[in-house]
Structure 1
């Protein structure tokens, strides 16, 4: 995709999110992105049609135990990350608020062993709480406004089981000042909420992508003590 087309797509996403927020609906725009794509993954800006590189790198450098272990992917999109975890041996659950995204996953991976379902992060079944050995959260938090940040972090943390791992991929800001968005990068103060909820930060890796100079990305590994 050309830079001009990419910029047009980014502007569209900002407009959709802004309009959704004005209607006091912070998540409704996700479904619109998938339906408007009409089966073309290049029109979904976060879809990579392969395992997210930061997840793949982590899996290769720090191979987790997978035998008999459960994993969940939050906001699974088109399913590539969930499939990667399943191939390693995890029993994987993956959900997205967009019905179109979940249908797309099932079409792409018809023989998948992943349990895909349409789900709202803020209205998950209580049986999922502290049920997973590995939780993967990639840029869902940063896609939601700051007024929802504490609630979002609390709900995600609640999925991590005893001695379980939470892997977070997010943009980072070095100030507590409210940023423009979307996305809304996370601050150090906001990240500290994970530790307040009983998750110890085990590892932090920093990335700066060539096509996004000045934008700091973090990969954070937490573990429930």
Structure 2
């Protein structure tokens, strides 16, 4: 989709100029040089926001075009933008980041891939670190239906609490007036 967008043949609906309002609503501490990872960073708006808070940010996307776009939009950035696969990440990323942000990526994956992706995200969080998950929410038992996105169920959100991660807060957030009006804002700690 990013390549089609660059060619003027598509519009990326999530490519907006401001960082996620749900991320900005969190009371994040100053980064003070701690390491942060942004999963599926797209054009980099959330990664740049975290860098602005003082985090040393690594941001990745499976789309090389998205990474090129992030680098073009943020010349001189301190963010390390990389092409990487969530399901086959660099080995040295395991338990390596003080803050991990997963915003709206898992909801775009079909159920079988999502089942593997959820624990992969949590594996990036260092001891004492924090995982933030922002996603569309459903109160149904399953997330079947037309998609993507496929809003995450409570069971799927709770599945992030694995491998030593514990929920600090799991909230349903009202996002009335948006395409997906009910959202998860979940924070886990290791």
TM-score range for the pair, normalised by the shorter chain length: over 0.9
1:214–1:44 Cα change, 3 Å = closer
Answer yes or no: is 1:192 the counterpart of 2:183: no
C-alpha displacement of 1:214: 7.3
Q: Aligned pair 1:129/2:94, yes or no? A: yes
1:209 alignment counterpart: 175
Per the TM alignment, residue 178 of structure 1 is displaced from its structure 2 partner at its CA by 4.1
Q: 2:49 matched to 1:81?
A: no
Aligned-partner SS, 2:144: coil
* 1:35 pairs with 2:3: yes
Higher normalized helix content (fraction of residues):
1
Q: CA, structure 1 residues 34+176, in 2 after alignment: closer, same or farther (shift >3 Å)?
A: same
Q: 1:39 to 1:167 in 2, by over 3 A?
A: farther
Deviation at 1:108, TM superposition (A): 0.8
1:145-167 Cα deviation digits (max 9, x unpaired): 11122210110000000010000
Structure having the higher Rg: 1
Unaligned 5+ segments in structure 1 are 1-32
What CA deviation, in whole Å up to 9, does each residue of 1:59-88 have, x standing for no partner? xxx232411300010000111111111111
TM-score with structure 2 setting the length: 0.92
1:51 matched to 2:19? The reply is yes
Using the TM superposition, give the Cα deviation of residue 215 of structure 1 relative to its aligned residue in structure 2, in angstroms: 3.4
Instruction: Work out whether residues 208 and 214 of structure 1, in 8 Å CA contact, stay in contact via their aligned partners in 2.
Output: no
Corresponding residue of 1:179: 144
Give the aligned CA root-mean-square deviation in angstroms: 1.7
Q: Note the residue ranges of structure 2 that are not aligned, 5 or more in a row.
A: none
TM-score (structure 1 length as normaliser): 0.78
CA distance in 1: counterparts of 2:179 and 2:47, whole angstroms? 29
Instruction: Kindly state the Cα deviation for residue 39 of structure 1 after the two structures are TM-superposed.
Output: 6.8
